[in-house]
Amino acid sequence: MNRGGEINLDGAETSVLKALGLGGSEVEGRELAERLPDFVVAELIDTLQGLSAMGYVDADKGSFHNREEFEKTHFRVNSGYSRDLKDALDPRPEPKKSRRVRRE
């Protein structure tokens, strides 16, 4: 995921972060599952546990291992990573470097 200051996200992580939003507001697990109907709850739990382990997502409970715990947990994107995550979700192409060579 995070290598050399660059955040690399897989498709599931990208979908979950977009569903959470980067504004810092909390989303209850039940609502998150409704926003991502193509995900199985176990997949959401795995993805959120990975994002939490990396520090990208905060949860109000220390653990959420089953559907009942997950649905009652509130999640939000860690504001310390929001700018980097925004860049990772919407990468901008690097500016082209000039090929001109200065000769003396």
pTM: 0.78
Q: Was domain 2-88 assigned CATH 3.40.50.2300?
A: no
Query: Does the pLDDT of residue 1 top 90, yes or no?
Result: no
Q: How many helices (H) and strands (E) does the chain have?
A: 5, 5
Structure tokens at 74: 């509130």
Could you read off the pLDDT of 27-82 as tens digits, one per residue?
Answer: 999 999 999 999 999 999 999 999 999 999 999 987 888 999 999 999 999 999 98
